[in-house]
């Protein structure tokens, strides 16, 4: 069988597939040429991350295609139900990247609380007086210890975020459509563990009580956080979105930053990917990353192996 890894695959995933007898093609075929490429080369398995779209047109017109694998979590770039109706196997790697995304949340959060992204932009020095001036402007950061993080979407990633937050002495409240009572098991390096109950609240309450809010829901039809929600938040709140662009209203966020209601924000995902609004990119109160939540070496290794295992299992090898 032929596998096209259109958004790449880790070395160990590739090795596992090759050893099982698959031909693995690692190549970036443009969206426009993808259908023809699959047909011309008799591709049986299409592997994608978030960049490649797999819509009805490909599903209907590529008879050799038997499986679609998504390296990562969100499957909004694939017409999943339609593909399954047509008999294709469609799968993702839900657990492989959770801790990487959670760590990125804290990379942004620690940076935001001390305005690191802002000071990094302004540090190139022009003498002693400039240094003193900057020292003054970046004083007054906040500690995370003792503050409350509100986690919206308490699934795999939300729970990993909670673990790190608890580990550094933060209070955690969570909101999730499908989670009533919640508990987190904190596991330590020496294999000891403790269970900690987590307070859950509806989003409408959580937003009033959190010092920082982190979003971990799947793609939504309309934003969960818009102007009305931000209005109810604490003054000086920090907002982090590593979920999907549309879950946070970007214009409402920019207005709230301008009005100093929101002290900082961090975004890994955008309404318009891969061309986020320039107003976001230029705003010094927003810490930015280019959708790299899952892009650690460790997560990519786990993703590649998990994809290979599923392909091998579905192929009955
Ligand atoms: P998950 O399915 O384990 O958890 C999502 C949770 O959100 C579920 O518990 C669900 O009940 C809850 N939820 C759904 N709609 C909600 C709503 N309106 N209000 C409150 N809760 C709601 O998924 P996960 O593995 O934790 O991933 C979460 C999202 O993170 C993914 O869907 C994906 O969009 C995003 N993600 C981003 C990156 C990145 O690179 N930045 C990487 C992986 C995943």
pLDDT tens readout for residues 153-190: 999 999 999 999 999 999 999 999 999 999 999 999 99
Residue of 80, 218, 300, 302 best suited for mutating to test ligand 1, as the one with most atoms within 8 Å of CB = 218
pLDDT tens readout for residues 53-65: 999 999 999 999 9
H-assigned helices in 150-285: 156-167, 203-209, 227-232, 250-258, 278-281
Give the predicted TM-score (pTM) of the model. Answer: 0.91
- Give the active site residue among 260, 273, 284, 298: 273
In this predicted structure, what is the pLDDT of residue 128?
A: 77
Report CA dihedral (151, 156, 160, 162) to the nearest 10 degrees.
Answer: 30
Question: Ligand 1 centre from 243 Cα, in Å?
Answer: 6
153 lines ligand 1 (CB under 6 A): yes
In this predicted structure, what is the pLDDT of residue 129?
A: 80
In this predicted structure, what is the pLDDT of residue 317?
A: 67
Name the residue with the closest Cα to ligand 1, atom 11: 178
- Among 112, 106, 115, 248, smallest CA distance to 170 is for 106
Active site residue 291: yes
156 lines ligand 1 (CB under 6 A): yes
291 lines ligand 1 (CB under 6 A): yes
Active site residue 314: no
- List, for the chain, all residue ranges whose pLDDT scores fall below the cut of 70: 317
In this predicted structure, what is the pLDDT of residue 295?
A: 92
pLDDT tens readout for residues 194-232: 999 999 999 999 999 999 999 999 999 999 999 999 999
In this predicted structure, what is the pLDDT of residue 316?
A: 87
296 lines ligand 1 (CB under 6 A): no
Spatial neighbors of 128 by CB under 8 A, at least 6 apart, are: none
**How does DSSP assign 114-141, residue by residue?**
TTHHHHHHH-S--SHHHHHHHHHHT---
158 lines ligand 1 (CB under 6 A): yes
Please report, in angstroms and rounded to a whole number, the separation of the first and last CA atoms in the chain: 11
In this predicted structure, what is the pLDDT of residue 121?
A: 86
Strands of 237-241's sheet in order across: 182-187, 193-200, 171-175, 148-152, 212-215, 237-241, 262-267, 286-288
Domains of the chain: 2-96+297-315 (3.40.50.720), 98-288 (3.40.50.720)
- ipTM of model: 0.99
Active site residue 133: no
Question: Ligand 1 centre from 156 Cα, in Å?
Answer: 8
């Amino acid at each position: 069988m032929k596998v096209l890894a259109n958004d790449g695959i880790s070395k160990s995933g590739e090795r596992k597939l090759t050893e099982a007898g698959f031909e693995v093609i690692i190549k970036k075929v443009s969206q426009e040429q993808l259908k023809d490429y699959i047909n011309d080369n008799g591709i049986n398995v299409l592997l994608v991350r978030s960049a490649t779209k797999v819509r009805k047109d490909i599903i209907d017109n590529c008879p050799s295609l038997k499986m679609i694998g998504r390296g990562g979590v969100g499957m909004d770039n694939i017409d999943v139900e339609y593909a399954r109706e047509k008999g294709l196997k469609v799968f993702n790697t839900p657990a492989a990247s959770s801790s990487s995304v959670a760590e990125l949340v804290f990379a942004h959060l620690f940076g935001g609380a001390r305005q690191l992204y802002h000071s990094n932009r302004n540090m190139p020095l022009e003498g002693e007086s400039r240094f003193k001036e900057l020292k003054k402007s970046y004083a007054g950061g906040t500690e995370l210890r003792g503050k409350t993080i509100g986690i919206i979407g308490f699934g795999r990633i939300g729970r990993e975020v909670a673990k790190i937050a608890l580990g550094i002495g933060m209070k955690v409240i969570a909101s999730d459509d499908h989670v009533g009572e919640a508990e987190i098991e904190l596991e330590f390096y020496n294999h000891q563990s403790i269970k900690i109950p987590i307070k859950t609240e509806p989003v409408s309450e959580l937003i009033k009580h959190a010092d920082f809010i982190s979003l971990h829901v799947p793609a939504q039809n309309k934003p969960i956080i818009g102007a009305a929600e931000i209005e109810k938040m604490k003054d000086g709140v920090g907002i982090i979105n590593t979920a999907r662009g549309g879950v946070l209203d970007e214009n409402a966020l920019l207005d709230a930053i301008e009005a100093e209601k929101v002290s900082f924000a961090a975004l890994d995902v955008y309404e318009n990917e891969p061309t986020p609004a320039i107003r976001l990119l230029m705003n010094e109160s927003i810490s930015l990353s280019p959708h790299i939540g899952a892009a650690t070496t460790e997560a990519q290794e786990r993703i590649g192996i998990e994809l290979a295992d599923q392909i091998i299992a579905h192929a009955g090898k």
